[in-house]
Chains A and B, each alone.
Chain A
Amino acid sequence: MDRLLRVSIRVYGSKAMLILRDTLKVMFPIMLLGSFAEVIKAAFLTPTGFMATLFNITKWLPFHRDLAWSMGVIFHCTIDMIALYGAFGAAYYTAKVYGRKSAAAGVAGLLSFLIISYQPNSSGMPDFNPRLMSEGMLLSLIVGYLCGRIMVKLVNVKKDELFQLIKPVSIIIIFSAIVNMILGLIGRFEIPTYVASFVSQHTQINALFYVLGMGVLTNLLSWMAFGGPFTNSPTFGDSVSLSNMNAALKAGSSWNVPFKFTDTTLYHSFANFGGTGVVLALIIAILIFSKKVNNRKVSKWAIFPAIFNNNYAMMLGIPILFNPILLIPFLLAPLVNMILAAILLALHWIPAAAYPVPAGTPGPLIAFIGTNGNWLALIFGAFLICLDVLIYMPFVKLADQVVEKAGDDDEEI
């Protein structure tokens, strides 16, 4: 723990971390409001959403379509384009840290990322890769950082700025266009469908390890601001979920489904409370154990979206992204949950979640609804949250110390 503390303090004080923290700080309020909009649209105003199905909101609320539309606009222009803001912020603050005029760098970062994610289409209208925009924040941060460095290197503050900018900007444009081409050649990977085919073609035990591994990978990538193989909510269109559901409907219960260990039965049912990394448990841990006013405030704001499995506010606000201390519980808590759930499933203590669940169902209720109201599954979910709070506890305390110590060091210097 002591070593982790020392390493963390050093990382905390580094220039890269400073840039990152400032960037995330700017993005936080935007993404917080974006996450509110997403949750309201997905869970409350979409007919298949959780609150909408429970309370029939779309039946009695006047103007619900217009409301859903405007919420959708807010969501698409914030969280769905999160990488754009990352590119601008990273470039801006990189230039600022190195003491240069920063607005030009920010614009250069934005330009570079727009070029990288541009996709030519037949109608000739601007069209950007939606996957890069929503899940490519890691790439955008790197791009922004590099743009900031290039601007710092090639722009001399003492001279007249107007024509100096042409050189760095043209370098950035050319490199971005090359990256765009390379990305176009690589194409996009379709992992989620691959999960289903793997689970259905291999033995139960292999499938279990595969799902565990993919779960850890999803969490790791999510910590690095990069979309992982598992989607944020269970899907019921793939063959494995369908055959599970059909078996459950035939037998009248979901005790004996053909595929016990899938992303739905383990990951979504027990390891995604509040979004990736069981963020709901982190929120509770911070509210109980943390003394940092800022973190407590962020956590309070993040409760509402986190109930519906949206964790952007916590990822950016605490921040969890690239935070070495929180990486350990962020990976450990979901893994422990999945392993314990797998044991209980194997021992026949709880049935598998096989019935469909509305979109945006709060994490702890997914297993409950998915098993058609198995009380043990609900109690087990609550138990797992308590366990995860305990897993997060030491790290939350440690994170408090890092901020304090690092703050002291700054003052000493």
Chain B
Amino acid sequence: MKKFNKWIWTGIGILISIMLIVMSLQWSRNNVDDLMKWHNSKMSPVIMIPGSSATVNRFDTLVKKLNKGKALKNQHSLVKVRVTNDDKLHITGQIRQGDNEPIIVVGFENNHDGYSNIKQQARRFNIAFKALANEYKFNNFKGIGHSNGGLIYTAFLEKYYSSYSSKITIKRLMTIGSPYNFNEQSVHHKTQMLSDFIDDWKNIPKNIDMYIVAGTQTYNSDGLVPLGSVVAGKYIYQGQVKHFTTVSVSGSDAQHSDLPQNSQIIDLINRYILDKTQNQQNGRKNDQSIGNIK
């Protein structure tokens, strides 16, 4: 009887082992497939976050202007993700086949101003980001944040990004008119948010090319956000990121809420944020046609 028992247990052991082996083989194959898709992915989206009181449609004009004059196959598709207060995602638009640089806008139902709202929006952005990363399997991306969107980006990078950093790189980031010190002109009066950001500046990934863009309608303000508050971002990013550039833009459309339509800024985005390849394809084609003429 004892012998018999022993055989039964051995049999069960072998059965479970075989099952685990088969299951783990299956899991491993799927997992490596996924990883390869992600690793060899050519997609590199631009993820934009609008400011307070703005919806996911905030960048429509900007995207239209970015696509202007480009051949259809080089245009950027626009996907909009709206995160409602129950943490659910509502996605509209889709990525055109073969488009490696789509523009994804993430907006929030609760789009109010204030530090506690920004923290909550950063958490919700993280939910959206995780879903986007799983869906589109990109291994790098570029970020643009207008106004409070830049603050949400900063909070996201400091608090949530570390769990992706081994798989997904953020190559470039541009914040446009982001009030890093809210309405304070001087950094001698640091808001709670700015000092929190400065406390965690070590969490900012080192490989970013960072652009802080300020609008200057008057000499020290874009009509809403003081210049000092925008450039206070240097206390968070400068010295930590690879490259750090501050640009101030004046002239027409330099008022705070006009900034995303400002042609200077669109030029900056074209030049510094978007990948060269998609633009260069035009150039290469031109070269070829020149070759043909010869």
Contact = CB atoms under 8 A, between A and B. Distances in A.
Given A237-B166, A249-B36, A249-B39, A54 B31 contact: no
Given A242-B166, A355-B35, A369 B20 contact: no
A356 B31 contact: yes
Interface string A23-64: 000000000000000000000000000100111000000000
B245 interface: no
A373 B28 CA distance: 7
A378 interface: yes
A229 interface: no
B40 interface: yes
B32 interface: yes
Interface of A, helix, strand, loop or mixed by DSSP: helix
A355 B28 contact: yes
Interface in A226-261: 236-237, 242, 245-246, 249-250, 252
Contacts of B40: 249-250
Interface in B161-177: 166
Nearest to A246: B39
A365 B28 CA distance: 11
Interface in A261-277: none
B85 to A, nearest CB: 22
A372 B21 contact: no
A27 to B, nearest CB: 28
Given A54-B23, A249-B35, A252-B36, A369 B166 contact: no
A136 interface: no
Contacts of A53: 27
A378 B21 contact: yes
A368 B24 CA distance: 8
A256 B290 CA distance: 43
A236 to B, nearest CB: 8
Given A54-B20, A369-B24, A250 B29 contact: no
Interface in B132-151: none
Contacts of A140: none
A362 B36 contact: no
A361 interface: yes
A362 B31 contact: no
B25 interface: yes
A361 B39 contact: no
Contacts of B24: 50, 54, 361, 365, 368-369
B35 A369 contact: no
B20 A362 contact: yes
A236 B167 CA distance: 11
A55 B24 CA distance: 10
B15 to A, nearest CB: 14
B25 A373 contact: yes
B32 A54 contact: no
A20 B36 CA distance: 52
Contacts of A250: 39-40
A361 B39 CA distance: 24
A230 B65 CA distance: 55
A246 B40 CA distance: 10
Nearest to A371: B28
Interface of A: 50, 53-55, 236-237, 242, 245-246, 249-250, 252, 355-356, 358, 361-362, 365, 368-369, 372-373, 378
6 contacts: A53-B27, A249-B39, A249-B40, A365-B24, A368-B21, A368-B24
Interface of B: 20-21, 23-25, 27-29, 31-32, 35-36, 39-40, 166
Q: Which 4 A-B pairs have the closest CB atoms?
A: A249-B39, A369-B28, A373-B25, A372-B32
Given A369-B27, A372-B28, 4 more contacts: A53-B27, A55-B23, A355-B28, A373-B29
